[in-house]
Structure 1
């Protein structure tokens, strides 16, 4: 049972937040520090046919470990990556809404791929070492969208995007002697999941197997990152809070743009009533 925010699975060091975690003092939540945190996961390269499986795994892990109340765990296994299991956040219709967010991401990346193809543009994954740097160890600087990447496959034809999970409180402020009220969203945590979807139908079996191996290693790193980062709970509010999921086409938009600005694809997905 998950009895309080920030309680992750056993075997993860308490209070350790690794690379890719940022802090801010802008719009605060109700946590002890009054600030907010941003967690940037390493890029996950994944074949188009497996993107739903990979992204669903990460989203459910984040939502389960940040559930604001007791959640009965339900274990799931990635169909495309049987060595990877994760805990489903099976609360209400969360699974349905996660599926909706994943479909929106797939559609958005597909549309972006069409525009890139018409412009004669192509993205190449990596080209460097075939060994993925484990989470918590120094890695080469990387970003998404072809500016530079830590991925190592030579599979051509890929589209990049980011899925952003935002946690926030709803705060009502009254004005005009209490006759009017405005609702504000106070963000206290944001997770950025960079994903590169390989979509080349001409990829050989060897390339597809290489991509699958990279994806599995990237997912393992991402899960370790999540389970380590969630141990930091000083910024988590005591009151109930909400979730939103948005998709963006670049890392810059996901980081610099407003958490509630226009994202890539459909509008945000509310995960709690």
Structure 2
């Protein structure tokens, strides 16, 4: 089985926005790819106006499953925050990969040995830049406008990612196996040209002062 790989648009977020944004993205994908019929529960984002995302509605039969999913999502986000890499004076970068897989048992040595194989059939990749630049806190008009600009930019980027998730999910599901399957979320880091540029700038020697 070939693994389908999806690369979502890059996000740039303030530190306080990361956890909720990642929850919105991960829970949306997990709901869309949940095996079997489930009911949605809409969650309103507290830090992003007019943005909601679906989660699996809690029921007595699904309470244990939901607890396990919540625990794994929270742990993956915590691991992501702990493994961020410095790419600039106020910038950190990291990535998450959400993988779906099924377990298959294979027989070897004329059926005398049984092995279990994990077959990954879909992966979702997301790269996040965390901007630690302090926000303006004064009440003057320039500070208010700047705070709103930062907020609108983050909301627009998150909205674009969620729209992309729905676009990808609606194209084809032929690769989704008709059996029960599992998921895992891993931190990933892929150096690209942007990170190389930040690294070069950060590690440049001090410029010589020619004014003296």
TM-score bracket relative to the smaller structure = 0.7 to 0.9
1:211 Cα deviation (Å)? 2.7
CA RMSD of aligned residues (A): 1.8
Give 1:196's match in structure 2, choosing from 129, 142, 152: 129
Matched, 1:66 2:33: yes
The aligned counterpart of 1:230 is 169
Q: Which residue of 2 aligns with 1:184?
A: 117
- Per-residue CA deviation, residues 178-215 of structure 1 (Å, 9 max, x unaligned), is 221222111111101111111133x4354544332111
Match of 2:157 among 207, 218, 241: 218
Residues 105-156 of structure 1: CA distance to partner in whole angstroms, max 9, x if unpaired?
Answer: 11111xx34xx6xxxxx26xxxxxxxxxxxxxxxxxxxxxxxxxxxxxxxxx
Which consecutive aligned stretches of 4+ in structure 1 deviate over 3 angstroms post-superposition? 205-209
Structure-1 separation of matches of 2:112 and 2:133: 58
CA displacement at 1:67 relative to structure 2: 0.4
Paired residue for 2:60? none
Measured after TM superposition, the shift of residue 234 of structure 1 is 0.9
Size of the alignment, in residue pairs?
Answer: 176
- Map 1:25-44; keep pairs closer than 5 Å: 28=1, 35-44=2-11
SS at match of 1:170: strand
What does 1:44-83 correspond to in 2, within 5 Å? 44-83=11-50
Is there any run of 5+ residues in structure 1 with no aligned partner, and where? 1-27, 29-34, 117-121, 124-156, 253-273
Counterparts of 1:212 and 1:179 in 2: how far apart (Å)?
61
If the length of structure 2 is used for normalisation, what is the TM-score? 0.77
Question: Alpha-carbon deviations, 1:226-263, whole Å to 9, x = none?
Answer: 111112101111111110100112267xxxxxxxxxxx
The structure with more radius of gyration: 2
1:248 — aligned with what?
Answer: 188
Contact 1:168 1:242 in 2 (8 A): yes
1:173 to 100, 106, 112: 106
Q: Which has the larger share of helix?
A: 2
Query: Does the 8 Å CA contact 1:170/1:185 hold for their aligned counterparts?
Result: yes
